Structure 1
Amino acid sequence: MEAELDELVQALRCLPGVGAKSARRMALHLLERDREGARRLSRAVDEAVARIGHCSVCRTLTSAETCSRCADPERDSRVVCVVESPGDVLAIESATDFGGRFHVLLGRLSPLDGIGPEELGLDRLEARLQAEGVEELILATNTSVEGEVTAHYLAEMAARHGIRTTRIAQGIPSGGELEYIDAGTLAHALSGRREY
């Protein structure tokens, strides 16, 4: 394989879920069938890398110093939803009418991987809890072991400041059939049941 083609294939492999065959197929498609698309992709990646950084308040991705959510005076600053990634912000925004603020951890606690409170910038979250009049902290971390440990740590932090802590509901997806749900999800849903 030509060195330039090999370099393009290796570059495409940095994307999540893209293995060697998929990367090769993408590279060949761009070179054989869509060279203008390849140029557009190249320009878009260059622009995004050069201009997009993290919001100085919530740490989501933005091209401004402060993202549009944090700059919006209509959003309720008394309610902060903590998520693991900017993708989680987009998922919540597209699926709900949540009108509060966000705080993006950019990961989750994982002592085995060397990720502690410092690496997640939890001092910044604690400063927000002290300074912004937060009344409710919504924990929207993933349900992995690390996500649950992170949620527990954050709940303890909020409790020290007398802030109400809630956890997003988890369990059976809408339209899901019980016989096809994994045991962990089913057990979690049953133990987290609420009044009907």
Structure 2
Amino acid sequence: MSSQSLLDQLIGALRCLPGVGSKTAQRMAYYLLERDREGGRHLSHIMAEAMERIGRCSCCRTLTELEVCRLCTNPHRDAAQLCVVETPADQTILEQAIDYRGLYFVLGGHLSPLDGIGPREIGLDLLDARLSEGKVKEVILATNPTVEGEATAQYIHDMANARDIRTTRIAQGVPMGGELEYVDGATIAHAFSGRSEF
């Protein structure tokens, strides 16, 4: 049995969430206990269900409670296009922001040999098997513009290139509404080298 009070354990448990420090966790715990116990009960029920039932899609590796997610089983999606993203959150952002009608593959991270994250850890063996099926005609790389994201994109490009599959990369650079004086030099250099016809 823990020597911590149940309240301290609740506050400590809430700190596992990203961006939640001790003060925020304390505020959340007090709010739930003082003002919304029913909301707290509902949250704990849904949290327990989600932890038990949500896994990865056997096809694209996104988070789902189904064996194969709804996007992968949608007959109106274009199986010839495969957008590769790092996280399920990246997939959701793309799905909400653009009218992309192809399919996805979610890596669950990026290559990072120093951290012991190699190709198998991010499912590149599964991606390779998927590319070898012959259905994919274009791989769209939407990994993050970090050193690791670029290395991962290059690795995937090489995999696709070995099978004569077209590889494209989402554009990167100056954000809409951004002003050049506030954008870092590396972003400007990348945007300038990737410029296109106007």
Of the three residues 50, 69, 72, the one matched with 1:70 is 72
Matches within 5 A, 1:40-189: 40-189=42-191
Counterparts of 2:5 and 2:186, CA distance in 1: 47
Q: Deviations over 1:87-111 (max 9, x none)?
A: 0110000000000000000110001
What's the TM-score once normalised by structure 2's chain length?
A: 0.96
Counterparts of 1:183 and 1:35, CA distance in 2: 50
Count of equivalent residues: 196
Dislocated runs of 4+, deviation >2 Å = none
Structure 1 position 54, deviation (Å): 0.6
Counterparts of 1:154 and 1:94, CA distance in 2: 24
Instruction: Give the unaligned 5+ runs of structure 2.
Output: none
Structure 1 position 132, deviation (Å): 4.4
Q: Deviations over 1:67-122 (max 9, x none)?
A: 00000111000000000010011000000000000000011000111000011111
What's 2:7 paired with?
Answer: 5
What's 1:33 paired with?
Answer: 35
SS in 2 for 1:119: helix
CA RMSD of aligned residues (A): 1.2
Q: Deviations over 1:2-31 (max 9, x none)?
A: 611111111111111111111111111111
* Counterpart residue type for residue 178 of structure 1: L
User: Percent identity of the aligned residues?
Assistant: 60
What's the TM-score once normalised by structure 1's chain length?
A: 0.97
* Counterpart residue type for residue 21 of structure 2: G
Counterparts of 1:161 and 1:12, CA distance in 2: 47
Structure 1 position 58, deviation (Å): 0.1
SS in 2 for 1:174: coil
SS in 2 for 1:101: strand
Counterparts of 1:2 and 1:139, CA distance in 2: 47
Check whether the contact 1:75–1:99 (CA below 8 A) recurs between aligned residues.
Answer: yes
